[in-house]
Amino acid sequence: MPKLLLIDDNEMNLDMLSRRLQMRGYQIVLATNGVQGIGVANRERPDLILMDMSMPHLNGWDATKQLREAPLTKAIPIVAVTSHAMKQEQERALNAGCSAFVSKPVDFERLETVIQQLLRRGSP
């Protein structure tokens, strides 16, 4: 069962995504900001990270950069999940080290397709 780390400061987003992903057979771990997310990623070593980009304390762009620089987390695929749907925001997320980009509101079928593709590929 693949382990996914959801990092998002919105509890409703965390609840909705975690329940739907658990129903699809994923093990879910949660973090509510970038700082906490980095700690959870290092401790739990998830197979994939879903990263909100706009969060307090440490935003998703900076958290992604830090995860990419760390030996334990540099190879974990990271999906940017954000309401910033503009083309330049997608490029910014990919330049920060995200493996893929999904805009909010989340199209769950598209998200699951992206997750499955990245898990099969296995690296950023």
Task: Sketch out the chain's domains with CATH numbers.
Answer: 3-121 (3.40.50.2300)
**Exposure of 84 in the CB half-sphere (CA atoms within 13 A):** 18
Residue 124 has pLDDT above 70, yes or no: no
Residue 44 has pLDDT above 90, yes or no: yes
**Exposure of 113 in the CB half-sphere (CA atoms within 13 A):** 7
Model pLDDT, residue 115: 97
Residue 123 has pLDDT above 70, yes or no: no
Residue 99 has pLDDT above 80, yes or no: yes
Residue 25 has pLDDT above 90, yes or no: yes
Identity at 11, one-letter amino acid code: E
Identity at 101, one-letter amino acid code: F
Condensed to tens digits (0 to 9), the pLDDT of residues 78-92 reads: 999 988 767 888 888
